[in-house]
Structure 1
Amino acid sequence: MRRRRFLGVSAAGAATAAITPALTSCGGGGGGSGTTLTVVAADYGDSAANGSQEYWDKLARAFEAEHEDIEVDVKVYSWTEVDRKVADMVRRGEAPDLAQIGAYADFAAAGKLYRADQLLSISTQAGFIESIAEAGKVGRVQYGLPFVASARLLFYNKTLFEQAGITAAPTDWDELKDAAEKLKTAGVKIPYGLPLGPEEAPAETMLWMLSGGGGYTDTNGTYTLDSPENVKTFEWLRDELVGEHLTGPGTPGRTNRQQLFDAFARGEVGMLNGHPTLMKQAEKGGVKYGTAPLPGIHGKARSTMGIADWMMAFKQNGRQEEIGRFLDFVYAKENVLEFAVRYDLLPVTAAASDAMRESRDHKRLWQFLDELRHAEFLPYSKTSWATVSKGLKEKIGAVVAEGGDPASVLGELQRAGDEAEVAGR
């Protein structure tokens, strides 16, 4: 997710109260001479002022105040280095007790992680939103514990729509193309933003596959990258959007998501797919925007894409009981909600999600919450996904260029995924 993908507002009210009373200096610890849990976590802040270390320090001190036999030592790293830091620690035989990072499948496949049911109370494990918890399973066993999530919606610039004579957000591909044409005629620099550059290629690709009735995998988890639906989707993008010069002056395969978010906040983009962080960025830029479900080939897309980041517990140090006690605390409703609100993310538990919906302070996130419950997630559980993701970042942008061959490129990615699946067994 730099969240790298989401980044957002500060928390307030009751959500903060769960942590604040036990706040001590960051250097001090509430524990005695018992166990010290080591935690490595990702930084969701975009500056020193709103970095995640402060959240984790407060949380650790609050936990230690209730568990005098356990200390918690949390180290927070940027998203550019945290996954590598954890991988290096594991290779050196110095795995942390807990890691909150972007992927868990490789560690689970190597037998290095505790199962969720070995750690969590029944109520905590049952409290995850079902669609997100499913994405944390390898072979129907949950190893990845969702930490935060996000969903995608169509964002559109209300002012540009009004100037172009567009009265409503598009609900299908035909309406989307029609709106893009009107925006272009009205002089909008980027009628539709299509980021297929390395930063966002796997996510934007999945959004379009879903809107075309396809996806990365079938219900059995088998890759379907070169399905007829996916090929048709990218032929349409190539011919009807990019080929008609409705995606702006840049080349989609070289355009990253943040470039388009920045352009949207400057009022230069008519429409694009976005996540909650874009709301804050657009507001800072003074852009009046709206959000809508993703347009599909024949009406609203059957689902949107969900993004999740993961918590995982390593078996190396044998601290199963202590880890479980800490995780039950981490996933308390107030703590989950506090982190989500702080960074404009979506809670991963039903209780925190319900609390967010009950507060009108969070009304602008309600539509994202609705979409998240039925979202489809990237194939996090597949160790082969790293290979496929890399291939997508390198090649998918070319299929929408003039002369691009979606069937050939998607077929090549399909073969690479199948081969990686076999090699990982």
Structure 2
Amino acid sequence: MKKSHRFGAIALAAAATLTLASCGFGGGSSGGDASGKTTLNLLVPSYSDNTQGLWEDVISGFEKANPDIAVELEVQSWDNLESVIATKIQGGEAPDIYNGGPFAGFAADDLLYPAKDVVSSDTYSDFQDAFLANAEVDGTAYALPLIASARALFVNNALLEQAGVAAPPTNWDELLDAATKVSALGGGVAGYGMPLGSEEAQAEAAVWLWGGGGSFGDASEITVDDPANLPGAEQIKKMIDAGATQADPGSTNRSPLMDIFVQGKIGMQVGLPPTVGQIAENNPELDYSIVPIPTKDGSAFTLGVMDQLMAFKNDDSKKDAITKFFDYYYSADVYVPWVQTEGFLPVTKSGAEALSGEEALKPFLDVLPDAQFYPSTNPKWSATDGAFKSLFGQIQTKPAQDVLTEIQAQADAG
């Protein structure tokens, strides 16, 4: 099979491996320092090896334009991020600005500024309406959309061809058959990369549970143990039991597993737009395709993910400085290069317009508006997300229904 990117390819140089880089800070309780500057504390996750440098460039430009404001940066891995933010909040040291995923629980505890309070009207109106809706709780946005992404299946064409698979799979039966044949090639090759470890278990779970007609719920109710989720959970076990995946999926994280795909040792794995950049950086000769994610019946399905920026109500004297930082960051000449380098999709109208001429991005931008998103506006989503990360890997050894029930119980407990 020749290389064909049915979902398009993004020529990115950024690697997508999550790395840990930190330059700790002491909390957000003080509005200024001895020099009279207002100090903002910024906690962000590492999306790639470029993340820290990108934020440092943003901060440098912002501080040059606003010499009375200083920004202290802390970068954490996604594996550590949620425990770090929880510890800081419990210790009364919440960052002033936080880049993360779940936020509704913070809003329910009255910890966040409404988004409209910390951006200008021009900046607020520039966000795509669909993304703002995903940042609302009871009709009020408490977070600012940061980046968006759509998922797709990355396929090693050469391995499928060696295994006698004529075309990428479109449904679960075809995927199981193709992955089993690729795994049978031996030599350390796995048919399907299935990351059920703590890094992003909720995403791999969504690929299967939603692909079988289920969901995690909505703004008012979390529905992990809904019977509609059982077919996807049982298909996961079927893949593992057939030897169609890598060894021990329950403890495997997405980033190191994708490194193995890039090395040419995995037949198929669900990936992100930045995966293209990782391949270009580390194995440009890899013969691969990007195709829609297979579902139970072959129907269309796209998992969308949106991360946010949010501002904690630590000190009202900092609100104007936070607003200046957000307005600076979301200006097109700052925001667009940041998104491009990280390899994600823009959430602003001006960003989408600036990238509209990039043919490689168009397929991702086209499918994103119809993507299914996590119920992140539900206050229990943070607990649900944590439950997936801590419990879902057990599905390889425990009955699927038991795992879903345990996740639901932990979600309900908050």
- Shorter-chain-normalised TM-score: which range? 0.7 to 0.9
> 1:412 matched to which residue of 2?
406
How far off is 1:85 after superposition?
A: 5.3
Q: Which of 1, 6, 9 is the aligned partner of 2:13?
A: 9
**Residues 314 and 158 (structure 1), Cα distance of their counterparts in 2 relative to 1, 3 Å cut:** same
Does the C-alpha gap of structure 1 residues 411 and 183 become closer, same or farther in structure 2, counting only changes over 3 Å? Answer: same
Alignment of 1:42-81 (within 5 A): 42=44, 44=46, 46-47=48-49, 50-52=50-52, 54-64=53-63, 66-67=65-66, 70-79=68-77
How far is 1:95 from its partner? 4.4
Number of the residue aligned with 2:206: 206
Moved more, 281-290 or 267-276: 281-290
Cα 1:10/1:235, change in 2 over 3 Å = closer
In the superposition, relative to structure 1, how do residues 41 and 148 fare at CA in structure 2: closer, same or farther (>3 Å)?
Answer: farther
Partner of 1:394: 390
1:235-246 maps to which residues of 2 (within 5 A)? 235-239=234-238, 241-246=239-244
Give the match for residue 146 of structure 2: 147
CA distance change for structure 1 residues 214 and 301 in 2, over 3 Å: closer, same or farther? farther
> Aligned pair in 2 of structure 1 residues 130, 374: CA closer, same or farther (>3 Å)?
farther
**Alpha-carbon deviations, 1:238-296, whole Å to 9, x = none?**
23x22222114x12212222332122122111111111232233331332211111111
2:256 equivalent in structure 1: 259
Deviations 1:149-195 (A, max 9, x none): 32211110011122233333222222222322442455572111111
User: Which fold has the larger relative contact order, with Cα–Cα distance below 8 Å and residues 6 or more apart in sequence?
Assistant: 2
Contact between 2:104 and 2:382, CA under 8 Å: does it hold in 1? no
2:288 corresponds to 1:289:
yes
Q: 1:307 aligns with which of 305, 308, 312?
A: 305
Using the TM superposition, name which of 38-47 and 322-331 deviates more: 38-47
SS of match in other structure, 2:340:
helix
Unaligned runs of 5+ in 2: 1-11, 16-34
Q: Deviations over 1:351-408 (max 9, x none)?
A: 2123223134xx1x4333333222222333334334333332333233344xx42223
Q: CA deviation at 1:90?
A: 4.4
Select between 97-106 and 196-205 the one with higher mean Cα deviation: 97-106
1:24 corresponding residue in structure 2 = none
How far apart, CA to CA, are the structure 2 residues paired with 1:58 and 1:263?
A: 31
Q: Match of 1:126?
A: 125
In the alignment, residue 379 of structure 1 is paired with which amino acid?
P
Q: Name the count of aligned residue pairs.
A: 379
Query: Which residue of 275, 278, 281 maps to 1:278?
Result: 275
Quote the offset at 1:143 in angstroms.
0.6
CA RMSD of aligned residues (A): 2.8
> Structure 2 length as normaliser, TM-score?
0.81
What percentage of residue pairs aligned between the two structures are identical? 33
| Distance (whole Å) between structure 2 residues aligned to residue 37 and residue 370 of structure 1 | 40
